[in-house]
Amino acid sequence: MSKKQVTVSLLKSLSPLDGLKAENLQALMKKTSVQEVGGGRYLFKEGDAAKRTIYVLTGAVELRTDSKVVRVIEGGSDEAKHPLAPMLPRKVSARARSKVEYISIDSDLLDVMLTWDQTGSYEVNELRADETPEGDDWMTTLLQTKAFHKIPPANIQAIFMRMEKIQYKAGDIVIKQGDEGDFFYAITDGRCAVTRETPLNKDGIKLAELRVGDTFGEEALISEAKRNATVTMLTDGSLMRLKKEDFNRLLNEPMLEWIDYDKALEIIGDGGKWLDVRLPSEFDNFHQEAAINIPLYFIRLKLKTLDPEIRYVVCCDTGRRSSAGAYILSERGFNVYVLRGGLTMSGAPDESD
């Protein structure tokens, strides 16, 4: 039997992938492939902490603790539309009963995309207004870089808003080895060459070629050191740049109060409320008892439904979306806390327990 191809429609049938915008679904499709495992083999074992979001497409998977089968997930079922045992470290093992087809997605990448899609990306549409038809690609590509995984979610939108577009001609020097660092750059159109001058080669040795979505310049800003290479335009193109002071400020986490699961239960027991900012399909799959569900993209619209006198513990799967939601609420005077590690890593009860 031929393997299934990963398509946008397949990804969109899964939760929470159904909440992603078209360009991010396209990006995930290119990075995802259908994998197979034979009967009796394990997709993962109890205690596994790899940040992978796994969906069963065909076949049957047993969720097991020791020799006990806790649950069986059949490909194509409603349960299979949700990630397989997402709690980390895994509280169960996943063993294939027969041949199983599944997909595995980088959880950090998925979470960054969900957070960006739901924190008001419409507010940076002006950055795209005069771009080429491929203008969206650089933002989607940038969100996939590991550097952006480290940026506090509440600040991602602000970074895009503060970026300035600069046009360059082929041969223009963007940064020069030995200069002071002043900007962080992202390529939106064209290609650049990275070269480094050595005592034996004054013309510079070519180290790399950079394309749309690639970034450079952050090392000198973080370390306060001088530029360690020269970047030159190989073609006409455009870059988005961010000032050093903005870069350094926006890499810092906003002032939020993070709490563990036990402290969260104390607050709930004392009259506080869980505020779950995941998508409704994620919430319906499992959630904390008596939790309120307001998806992150609705937070600004639903402020009047929240009581400023109540303490809210904001939660999501990992803490990334909840920190963005908590930042929005704290700026507006609400008394909020963020569940450290989210529901998948905090010690919250597993839906398969």
pLDDT at 329: 92
Does the pLDDT of residue 266 top 70, yes or no? yes
pLDDT at 9: 94
Do 124 and 88 lie in one domain? The reply is no
Other C-beta atoms within 10 Å of 171: how many? 10
- Using pLDDT thresholds of 50, 70 and 90, give the confidence band for residue 48: very high
CA atoms of 78 and 103, how far apart (whole Å): 16
Do 74 and 132 lie in one domain? The reply is no
- Using pLDDT thresholds of 50, 70 and 90, give the confidence band for residue 6: very high
Do 90 and 18 lie in one domain? The reply is yes
Q: Is residue 345 part of a domain?
A: no
- Using pLDDT thresholds of 50, 70 and 90, give the confidence band for residue 100: very high
Do 126 and 233 lie in one domain? The reply is yes
Q: What is the model's pTM?
A: 0.75
- Using pLDDT thresholds of 50, 70 and 90, give the confidence band for residue 117: confident
pLDDT at 222: 65
pLDDT at 140: 72
pLDDT in tens, 275-295: 999 999 999 999 999 999 999
pLDDT at 133: 36
pLDDT at 204: 80
Do 139 and 237 lie in one domain? The reply is yes
Do 126 and 224 lie in one domain? The reply is yes
Pairing of β 273-276 and β 311-315: parallel
Q: Is residue 173 part of a domain?
A: yes
* Backbone phi, psi, residue 341, to 5°: 80, -10
pLDDT at 163: 87
Q: Are 102 and 43 in contact (CB under 8 A)?
A: yes
CATH number of the domain that residue 74 is part of: 2.60.120.10
Do 161 and 245 lie in one domain? The reply is yes
Do 244 and 128 lie in one domain? The reply is yes
Of 250, 272, 296, the domain-final residue: 250
Q: Is residue 2 part of a domain?
A: no
Do 305 and 322 lie in one domain? The reply is yes
Do 290 and 328 lie in one domain? The reply is yes
Across the chain, where does the E strand assignment appear? 35-37, 42-44, 52-58, 60-65, 68-74, 93-96, 100-106, 164-168, 173-175, 183-189, 192-198, 201-210, 215-216, 230-233, 237-243, 258-259, 273-276, 292-293, 311-315, 335-339
pLDDT at 146: 63
Q: Is 65 helix (H, G, I), strand (E, B) or coil?
A: strand
Of 76, 106, 136, the domain-final residue: 106
**Mean of the pLDDT values across residues 248-258?**
79
Q: Decide which of 218 and 270 is more confident.
A: 270
* Sequence-separated (6 or more) residues with CB below 8 Å from residue 230: 173, 175, 176, 177, 194, 195, 196, 197, 204
Do 125 and 100 lie in one domain? The reply is no
Q: Is residue 293 part of a domain?
A: yes
CATH number of the domain that residue 275 is part of: 3.40.250.10
Domain span including residue 299: 258-339
* Total count of domains within the chain: 3
Q: Is residue 353 part of a domain?
A: no
Do 232 and 139 lie in one domain? The reply is yes
pLDDT in tens, 157-194: 778 788 899 999 999 999 999 998 889 898 989 999 99
Of 222, 250, 278, the domain-final residue: 250
Residues above pLDDT 70, as percent of the chain: 88
Q: Is residue 348 part of a domain?
A: no
pLDDT at 82: 96
pLDDT at 152: 78
Q: Is residue 347 part of a domain?
A: no
Q: Is residue 319 part of a domain?
A: yes
CA atoms of 102 and 250, how far apart (whole Å): 38
